Amino acid sequence: MKFQPNKNGYYGQFGGAFIPELLYPNVKELEDNYLTILESVAFQTEYKDLLQHYVGRPSPLYLAKRLSEKYGATIYLKREDLNHTGAHKVNNTIGQILVAKHLGKTKIIAETGAGQHGVATATVCALMNLECTVFMGEVDIKRQAPNVARMKMLGAKVVAATSGSKTLKDATNEAIRYWIQNPETYYLIGSVVGPHPYPDMVARLQAVISKEMKAQLKMQTGNENPDTIIACVGGGSNAAGAFYHYLENENVELIAVEAAGLGVHSGESAATSQLGEVGVIHGSKTILMQDEYGQIVEPYSISAGLDYPGVGPLHAFLHETKRAKFMNATDKEALKAAYELTKIEGIIPALESAHALAVLPKIKFKKDQVVVVNLSGRGDKDLETYINHLEK
Amino acid sequence: MKSLKNIFQEKENLLSIFFTAGYPNLNDTTTIISELANNNVDFIEVGLPYSDPLADGPTIQDSSQVALQNGMNLDIVFEQLKAIKETNSKPLVLMGYLNQLLKYGEDKFCQACLESGIETLILPDLPMVEYENHYQQLFKKYGLTNVFLITPHTSEERIRKIDALTEAFIYVVASASITGAKGDISNSQITYFERIKTMNLKSDLIIGFGISNNETFKTACQFANGAIIGSAFIKELSKNGVSEIDNFIQSIR
Ligand SMILES: Cc1ncc(COP(=O)(O)O)c(C=O)c1O
């Protein structure tokens, strides 16, 4: 099991829990309990029930015929966009809210970039009648306004992060600072980032994506293994979920797509694997965009969910071992891909997911190559960006 | 320069001051250190400005941002400290985040500390397990000591373990909080300080986070060897620059 973390939460040299002593009791409590909870019958029963009847799982695996024709491959879309709340994020929040309840927590905090994780957290808090505070960068509050409104309607308090680049990194900083000062709260992290055990716990909760994929591919093609899986990577949770049950099967090609912003080397990019070096961010040793003195560099992407200067430690390890191939897409390429999917398949993707679609023209496919693109979310939240772009 | 050990043996009610290197101006570092030394501050914490200081409140965050905008970096801090190594009489403690050490190069960083007269490090995001697995050896090689933090939520068992590993002093974080001046010390904080005091630890204790004035300093000194003032001093610097340091220190003692 090469791609499972060791007992200290390390994937190779990446991972660990680099947290101030103030957070030690919280993280330790979670570390000591998460596996027992996740594997308990009570948890599994409730988790599966909610995923089926509340989220609407299994999400369809859709053979995109016209997209397939265009790129000369057999392309399936894993439709995480059809989940309740509109993205894969809810798989994780349903799971973690049950973990929080098992631990007896009543106050929940979360960070959010695109607002999808914030909405998914506010949703499960409403469902479970728990108090919810979401930290969101000031820049993201502006560019993802519909999600801010949804969070508020769901009863969450949205706190603006005004430090640094005022995006996901800074929202995470503020959430951690709040957590230090309010240790009775449960921090519901939205991606496979943060101190151990979060990356492993979130990956396990998102693993439902590849679990379903296996069964659906078996049904639809007779073979549970695709040739290639493509997913976008911000922190890396939808990719971790889409890759999870295929990690040890090296015949399945894994492609992780990062946001190149205005171009990988433009100085306005979030392509961490290309620009980053080993470092510590948000409690985890990973690859990280930083200057020569270890100051974290402010990333840029049109997509709030990919606008992050690190990646989860699992992805750092997949990159280092070359188990996954890391590609990237610029703002422009993502926008183009979003329009294309909308026009030929009638699906408006999230800007994040559009980055995964945007590498299709860059790959030479074999004729019968079976490709699954993880369509991590829907584009409702990005309409304003899409419309602005359309007018130009 | 006297070592920290000597200072702890010789005196009680130690006053330590934290400041962010490069704030308010890039070249204030050595002036601040000599002013603090002249006013009998017992040891000095030099903060390395960091882009993402997770354990710090708004005051130190802002000072870090200004310092970085002023062009402060590790090479410059070390050069500034080297220049006063022979003249400075007070022990220096360096406070920064682990990523700064990692990126600079672990050995290069430790060597530079040595050459700059630094004997002790505070890295709030360096956890005990990582220290035991790796950094203990590294720091030992360069004769550097590490400071662990304990908080109101640190278990007795863990405090005992930290006590055993401690060579410098234990940093008693006054409340479950990030850095920043808070005003008074509450009864529950007193109970916590008493609990730590009666554990009879072998290590010296310094209380910090939220110590801001004569009253809170005096209270802290009843339960520890001394206390650290950070944010309140940064606020003083932002008001008056380096000109009123003597008045500020005298108001504490
Ligand atoms: C639709 C969608 N996809 C992808 C992401 C990126 O997150 P991750 O890399 O954790 O999947 C986000 C984050 O907000 C998102 O909303």
pLDDT value of position A165: 83
- A305 alpha carbon – ligand 1 mean position (Å): 5
SS3 assignment, position B132: helix
Domain presence at residue B251: no
Looking at the structure, tell me whether residues A270 and A239 fall in a common domain: yes
The overall average pLDDT reported for chain A is 97
pLDDT level of residue A275 (50, 70, 90 thresholds): very high
pLDDT (average), residues B112-124: 97
Q: Where residue A219 falls among pLDDT bands split at 50, 70, 90?
A: very high
| Residue finishing a domain among A184, A202, A220 | A202
In a shared domain, residues A305 and A158:
no
Same-domain status, A75 and A23: no
Q: Whose CA is nearest to atom 1 of ligand 1?
A: A377
Confidence of residue B180 (pLDDT cuts 50, 70, 90): confident
A207 lines ligand 1 (CB under 6 A): no
Beta carbons within 8 Å of A235's beta carbon, 6+ residues apart: A190, A191, A192, A193, A308, A310, A311, A312
**Are residues A380 and A267 part of one domain?**
yes
> How many angstroms separate the CA atoms of B218 and B222, rounded?
7
Distance between CA B142 and CA B136 in Å, rounded?
Answer: 10
The reported pLDDT for the residue numbered B146 is: 98
Q: Mean pLDDT, to the nearest integer, of A178-199? A: 97
Residues of B forming the active site: 45, 56
- Chain A segment 165-194 residues within 8 A of B by beta carbon are 169, 173, 176-177, 180-183
Are A82 and A95 part of one and the same domain?
no
Residue A129 and residue A114 in one domain: yes
Q: Is residue A157 part of a domain?
A: yes
Kindly calculate the radius of gyration of chain B based on its CA atoms and give it in whole angstroms.
Answer: 17
A4 within a domain of the structure (yes/no): no
Q: At B216, list the tokens.
A: 């809170």
Is the CB of A59 within 6 Å of ligand 1? Answer: no
Same domain for A189 and A45: yes
* A180: closest CA of chain B, how far (Å): 6
Domain final residue, candidates A163, A179, A202: A202
What b/e readout covers B47-71, taking b as 16+ CB neighbours within 10 angstroms?
A: bbbbbbbbbbbebbbbbbbbbbebe
> Over the stretch B194-224, which tens digit does the pLDDT of each residue have?
999 999 999 999 999 999 999 999 999 999 9
Please name the residues between 128 and 167 in chain A that touch chain B, using a CB distance below 8 Å. 163-164
- The CATH number assigned to the domain holding A271 equals 3.40.50.1100
Per DSSP bridges, beta strands A277-281 and A284-288 are antiparallel
More confident residue, B183 or A162: A162
Which chain A residues are closer than 8 Å to B154 by Cβ?
21, 24-25
Q: How far apart are CA A274 and CA A308, in angstroms?
A: 13
**How many Cα atoms occupy the beta-carbon half-sphere of A324 within 13 Å?**
29
Our answer on whether the CB atom of A87 is closer than 6 Å to any ligand 1 atom is: yes
- The stretch A111-118 carries a mean pLDDT of 95
Cβ of residue A233 lying under 6 Å from some atom of ligand 1: yes
Q: How many CB pairs under 8 A join A and B?
A: 100
The reply to whether A376 belongs to the active site is yes
ipTM: 0.94
To the nearest whole number, what is the mean pLDDT of chain B? 96
Q: Which of A147, A172, A202 is the last residue of a domain?
A: A202
Counting the structural domains of chain A, the total is 2
Domain harbouring B101, CATH code: 3.20.20.70
Give the pLDDT confidence of B7-60 residue by residue, as tens digits. Answer: 999 999 999 999 999 999 999 999 999 999 999 999 999 999 999 999 999 999
Q: Are A295 and B105 in contact (CB under 8 A)?
A: no
Q: CB of B105 within 8 Å of any CB in chain A? A: no
pLDDT mean over A125-129: 98
Which residues does chain B have within 8 Å of residue A179's beta carbon, measured at their own beta carbons?
A: none
Q: Which residue's CA is the closest to the ligand 1 atom numbered 10?
A: A237
**Same domain as A283, residue A309:** yes
Q: Where are the alpha helices (DSSP H) in A281-330?
A: 313-320
How far does the centroid of ligand 1 lie from the alpha carbon of residue A126, in Å? 22
Out of B54, B125, B151, whose CB is closest to A177? B54
The reply to whether A6 falls in a domain is no
Question: The domain containing residue A175 runs over which residues?
Answer: 11-50+89-202
CA–CA gap between residue A372 and residue A231 (Å, rounded) = 9
B180-207 average pLDDT score: 93
User: For residue A13, what pLDDT is reported?
Assistant: 98
Query: Is B154 domain-assigned?
Result: yes
Range of the domain at B118: 4-246
Task: Give residue B158's pLDDT.
Answer: 97
CA distances (Å), A144 to each of A207, A270, A383, in order?
Answer: 27, 18, 9
pTM of the complete model: 0.97
Q: State the total domains in chain B.
A: 1
User: How remote is the CA of residue A98 from the centroid of ligand 1, in Å?
Assistant: 21
* A376 Cβ below 6 A of ligand 1: yes
The CA angle B91-B49-B71, to the nearest 5 degrees, is 110
Residue numbers in A near B102 (CB within 8 A): 278-280, 294
Pair A319, A257: CB distance under 8 Å:
no
Is A111 designated active site?
yes
In a domain, B253, yes or no: no
Residues A254 and A123 in one domain: no
Residue B212 lies in a domain: yes
**Cβ of A350 less than 6 Å from ligand 1:** yes
**CA A355/CA A315 separation, integer angstroms:** 17
Give domain status of residue A5, yes or no.
no
Structure-token pair, residue A122 = 């506010």
- Which string of b and e fits B203-222 if b means at least 16 CB within 10 Å? bbbbbbbbbbeeebbebbbe
Closest by Cβ to B99, choosing from A22, A177, A279 = A279
The predicted model gives A376-392 an average pLDDT of 89
**Whole-number Å distance between alpha carbons of A88 and B183:** 45
Q: From the list A183, A283, A295, which residue is nearest B51 (CB)?
A: A295
For residue A332, being part of any structural domain is answered with yes
Do the chains contact at B99 and A19, CB–CB below 8 Å? Answer: no
For the stretch A223-253, pLDDT in tens is 999 999 999 999 999 999 999 999 999 999 9
Q: Is residue A212 part of a domain?
A: yes
DSSP-assigned beta bridge partners for residue B46: B19, B94
How many angstroms separate the CA atoms of B166 and B176, rounded? Answer: 21
Q: Tell me whether residue A69 is in a domain.
A: yes
**pLDDT value of position A391:** 56
DSSP structure string for A126-184: HHHT-EEEEEEEHHHHHHTHHHHHHHHHTT-EEEEE-STTSSHHHHHHHHHHHHHH-TT
**Residue B6, pLDDT above cutoff 70:** yes
Rounded distance, CA B127 to CA B140, Å?
Answer: 17
A392 has a pLDDT exceeding 60? no
Tell me which H or E stretch contains A288. Answer: strand A284-288
pLDDT band for position B181 (cuts 50, 70, 90): low
Measured CA to CA, the distance from residue B224 to residue B165 in angstroms comes to 18
Q: Which residues on adjacent β-strands are paired with residue B121?
A: B94, B146
Least confident segment among A13-17, A90-94, A316-320, A381-385: A381-385
Residue A294 touches chain B, beta carbons under 8 Å = yes
Q: Give pLDDT, residue A62.
A: 98
Let me know whether A281 and A231 are in one domain: yes
